[in-house]
Amino acid sequence: MAGNVTIARPYADAAFKLARGADALASWLELLSRLAAIVADADMQACISDPEASADQLAGLLLDVAGELTDEQRNFVRVLVENGRLQVLPEIRNLFVVLKNEHEGVLEARIASAFPLDGATLASLTADLETRFKARIDAIVTIDPELIGGVRVAIGDEVIDASVRGKLASMAAALKNQELSNAT
């Protein structure tokens, strides 16, 4: 949701600045991932939406479940609770990942494949993408049987569609354009 991203952005920026200042990007990412999973739990959702639960009780519960945290991380959690922003933790985590990747010169590649990719194929594809984009690639692979065969790769705004479905769609468009030009 665009509204949630707008709300989450300042918190992600703050978390990133704290993490970078402490040279603790990995531990902050781990924390934000853990917190996002915790607040997604149905029981925690019930606690968050309980009007009788105070901010102190909710923060205490979340801090107990989250495990060992630094003082800055504990304060960050308290600010989220006090401002009623626990629901946007998944967006905060995702924006943090983007900032971390930019800082480290890593691009996130969302790879959709018709079939599971074996390790060698994924490594080869990742190496090709790293050469093309001149950056380290963090590959996130999903299975999409509707592709019929091949892969579709999205990196930022760029999409490389090497799927059978994509090629069939291109062929259909070319044939339609050919029909239109022949008709005139």
DSSP symbols for 49-78: H-TTS-HHHHHHHHHHHH-S--HHHHHHHH
Query: Could you read off the pLDDT of 31-50 as tens digits, one per residue?
Result: 999 999 999 999 999 988 99
Write down the pTM of the prediction: 0.71
C-alpha–C-alpha distance, residues 116 and 119, integer Å: 10
> What is the CATH architecture of 106-183?
3-Layer(aba) Sandwich (3.40)
CATH 1.10.520.20 domain locations along the chain: 2-101
The answer on pLDDT for 2 being more than 70 is no
Q: Which residue has the higher pLDDT, 4 or 24?
A: 24
Among 74-78, 129-133, 134-138, 145-149, which stretch is predicted with the lowest mean pLDDT? 145-149
C-alpha–C-alpha distance, residues 142 and 17, integer Å: 31
Mean residue pLDDT across the chain: 91
Query: Could you read off the pLDDT of 67-113 as tens digits, one per residue?
Result: 899 999 999 999 999 999 999 999 999 999 989 998 999 999 999 99
User: Which CATH number is 2-101's, of 3.40.50.720, 1.10.520.20, 3.40.50.1970, 1.20.1630.10?
Assistant: 1.10.520.20
Q: What is the pLDDT of residue 1?
A: 54
* Residues in CB range of 137: below 8 A, 6 or more apart: 106, 107, 108, 109, 126, 129, 130, 155
